[in-house]
Amino acid sequence: MQISIVGSRASQWAFLGLLSLVGCSAGDGGVDVGAGGALSGGAPGAGASGAAAGSAGFGASGASSAGGAESANAAGASAAGSTTGGGAAGDAGLAGAGGIAGSGGVAGSGGATSPAAAARQRVIAFLRQMSGSKAAIGTENKGTSNPTADSDKMASMGGNGYPSFWSQDWGFGTSLPAARERIVEEGKKQWAKGALVQYIYHVCPPQMGSNENCAYEANVTPQGALPIKGTKLDAQQWQDLVTPGGKLYQVWIARLDTLAKYFQELKDAGVAPLFRPLHEINGTWAWWNGHPGPEGSTKLYQITHDYLVKSKGLDNIVWVFNLQDYETLAADVPKYAPGADYFDVLAIDFYNTGYSTGNYQATLAAALGKPIGIGECAKLPSVQNLEQQPKWAFVAFWPDFYSTNTSTIPALFESDRVLKLSDMPGWK
């Protein structure tokens, strides 16, 4: 079944609510978001190219080792999770009783608990409904003095509109907290314009305590600090980090308390951002990744989710769980699985093996029917890649690599498969 929705933004969201009551299934063709902000089309649902849960999915936590070395310049952010009111459920489409469900959606037991929680549900519904025919496009913005510099550059190179996806890093260094306040304010502006808003978190090693003046690499790290890349925790330190009451655990909770302040500002403004913490969790380059098993990196991710959602009441966050495209990707999935209740979106960073059929199928299987996205990449997918792999709901670029994407960016901005900012339906 294919359904076309035209009219005002309010009527589009109202129709999504109606679907939740009548039980429309995305597996029949679904509802999709077309260019111009109208919902239209008929994206193939889970029955066409969706994933089976299976043992490769993220239904349960797993164990074992990560593989592959970090790609040069690989960086970004991760996270995934679910709503406070319930876990994943349903067959597909939008569920009633206040929750957005599906074979990987977010189920609620009593509806949204705040305006920002309702906005969060709209974001997830939007990602689900456009998955299969459209993809938002954007870039990480590395600078904080001008938090749209890289988005502006992408728009200039694209020559046909502005990116619909904006991302920034909570970051580290001497410019905090002023830089964080700037990117909160910019996130509010981007949200008001209708963009998808995301935050990532390159975070200093916990051995540094409350000191956040570190650097990404050792050769530029301030004296007495530890770099993000290359620092490791031994087994005793890691156990201390993930054990309530531990010294490093308390450091981590204090870091989350700091972030919670900014997420609360976003919540108060009605903004529902994507958050991608502990990104590239199956890698080996950062202190937080490469610890397999239920007490490893996944445990720290779960602690992060539960503290921000349950302890701090931040029901506005769309959680993005993130892996990288190592040759071991399919095998890494069960080793780092956080559980279906802990993520809303599954994202893959592409720096190594690329947009292969195997990587795509492994991603779909891991996502349990939830939306998937390209969290970062050095080489953007081509229009043909998006046609062959239509479930990518967003494509995010890492801005160190503009020089090798000079022809791909304009082609993507010309494609009707790509949503620019003017195509977005808005969040009201």
- Cα–Cα distance, 341 to 350 (Å, whole number): 25
Asked which of 51-60, 76-85, 146-155 is least confident by mean pLDDT, the reply is 76-85
Task: Compute φ and ψ for 348, nearest 5 degrees.
Answer: -120, 135
- Cα–Cα distance, 370 to 365 (Å, whole number): 10
If residue 323 lies in a helix (H) or strand (E), which one and from where to where? Answer: strand 318-324
- Cα–Cα distance, 368 to 375 (Å, whole number): 18
pLDDT in tens, 347-390: 999 999 999 999 999 999 999 999 999 999 999 999 999 999 99
Phi-psi region of 230 (alpha: psi -120 to 50; beta: other; left: phi over 0): left
CB of 367 closer than 8 Å to CB of 104: yes
Q: What is the pLDDT of residue 58?
A: 57
Q: What is the pLDDT of residue 79?
A: 34
* Residue 60 pLDDT greater than 80, yes or no: no
Most confident of 24-28, 40-44, 104-108, 112-116: 112-116
Mean pLDDT value across residues 392-400: 98
* Residue 37 pLDDT greater than 70, yes or no: no
Domains annotated on the chain, with CATH? 54-423 (3.20.20.80)
Q: How far is CA 79 from CA 190, 201, 353, in A?
A: 20, 9, 22
Is 153 exposed, middle or buried, given 0-12, 13-18 or 19+ CB atoms closer than 10 A? middle
Q: What is the pLDDT of residue 201?
A: 98
pLDDT in tens, 221-243: 788 899 999 999 999 999 999 99
Q: Residues in the chain, how many?
A: 428
- Cα–Cα distance, 119 to 31 (Å, whole number): 19
Q: What is the pLDDT of residue 57?
A: 54
pLDDT in tens, 159-199: 999 999 999 999 999 889 899 999 999 999 999 999 999 99
pLDDT in tens, 309-355: 999 999 999 999 999 999 999 999 999 999 999 999 999 999 999 99
CB of 397 closer than 8 Å to CB of 405: yes
Task: Compute φ and ψ for 132, nearest 5 degrees.
Answer: 120, -20
CB of 320 closer than 8 Å to CB of 375: yes
pLDDT in tens, 272-285: 999 999 999 999 99
CB of 425 closer than 8 Å to CB of 167: no
Mean pLDDT value across residues 56-62: 46
* Residue 407 pLDDT greater than 50, yes or no: yes
Is 418 exposed, middle or buried, given 0-12, 13-18 or 19+ CB atoms closer than 10 A? buried
Mean pLDDT value across residues 120-144: 96
Contacts of 264 (CB under 8 A, 6+ apart): 312, 314
If residue 123 lies in a helix (H) or strand (E), which one and from where to where? Answer: helix 115-130
Enter the pTM of the model: 0.78
Q: What is the pLDDT of residue 420?
A: 98
Most confident of 71-75, 104-108, 381-385: 381-385
Mean pLDDT value across residues 116-128: 97
Structure-model confidence comparison of residues 90 and 397, the more confident one: 397
Q: How does residue 22 score in pLDDT terms, banded at 50, 70 and 90?
A: very low
